[in-house]
Amino acid sequence: MSVWAIIPVKPLNRAKSRLAEVLSAEQRHLFALAMYQQVLRVAVSVPQLAGIVVISRDTKALAIAREHNVRTIQETSSSELNPALNRATEMARFLRAGAVLILPADLPFITKEDVEKMLEMGRKEPCVVIATDYDKDGTNAMLVRPPSLFPYSYGDGSFSRHVEAARAAGATVKIYQSETIALDIDVPEDLHAYNQILLSGRFQSPNLTPFLPDIIPD
């Protein structure tokens, strides 16, 4: 059955506030925009996805999605992440999705191969495929088959909560390990790692450039 990707996007001009000590407000805005465009570019390049939904209250993020012929949902000003994802999942179910793949907008190094491997791992129902971060704390990407199998529980410690919820729902849980998904950008140390990867030439994309000054020491 078909898989729909869901990309939640926070307001770009208020994103990445925890990087305020190393990046200006304008830099944080541009950085969030660049990462979002990278995730969206990867998602639209995967033919196995039946469709993509971008949910946000940022009108620029929604406009960019529409330029790629992606469906959009306008959030309310009071909307929070988990209810927003539930709403987007309901849209995917209405569109006959057999599974949803949650892709946060701050995974700069995610690749087409990452998405394809997660889709392959999550072909049988019921199944949940989770990619976590380096600390095994957060949920950096998650495929849920069927949709609405359990309530989303994003936030600190979400990886263990999602694993427990999936098992309680009787689903097979698979962990997708990927260096390219493991780095999400939240704190200055993450930005330092991001800059080091780009400056080393290990990852190249027209959407991504180093964001300096990066004052975190080696």
Q: What is the pLDDT along the chain (218 residues), one digit of tens a residue?
A: 699 999 999 999 888 999 999 999 999 999 999 999 999 999 999 999 999 999 999 999 999 999 999 999 999 877 799 999 999 999 999 999 999 999 999 999 999 999 999 999 999 989 999 999 999 999 999 999 999 999 999 999 999 999 999 999 999 999 999 999 999 999 999 999 999 999 999 998 888 999 986 554 44
CA distance 96 to 204: 35
Residue 79: both structure tokens together: 């909307």
Query: Does residue 216 sit within a domain?
Result: no
CATH number at residue 65: 3.90.550.10
CA distance 114 to 118: 6
Query: Does residue 60 sit within a domain?
Result: yes
Query: Does residue 168 sit within a domain?
Result: yes
State how far the alpha carbon of 185 is from the alpha carbons of 49, 95, 98, in Å: 25, 31, 30
Residue 30: both structure tokens together: 């541009």
Decide if 115 contacts 101 (C-beta within 8 A). yes
How many domains are there within the chain? 1
Give the domain range for residue 167. Answer: 3-200
Decide if 64 contacts 32 (C-beta within 8 A). no
Q: How many CB atoms are closer than 10 A to CB 117?
A: 16
Query: Does residue 130 sit within a domain?
Result: yes
pTM: 0.94
Q: Which residue type is seen at 9?
A: V
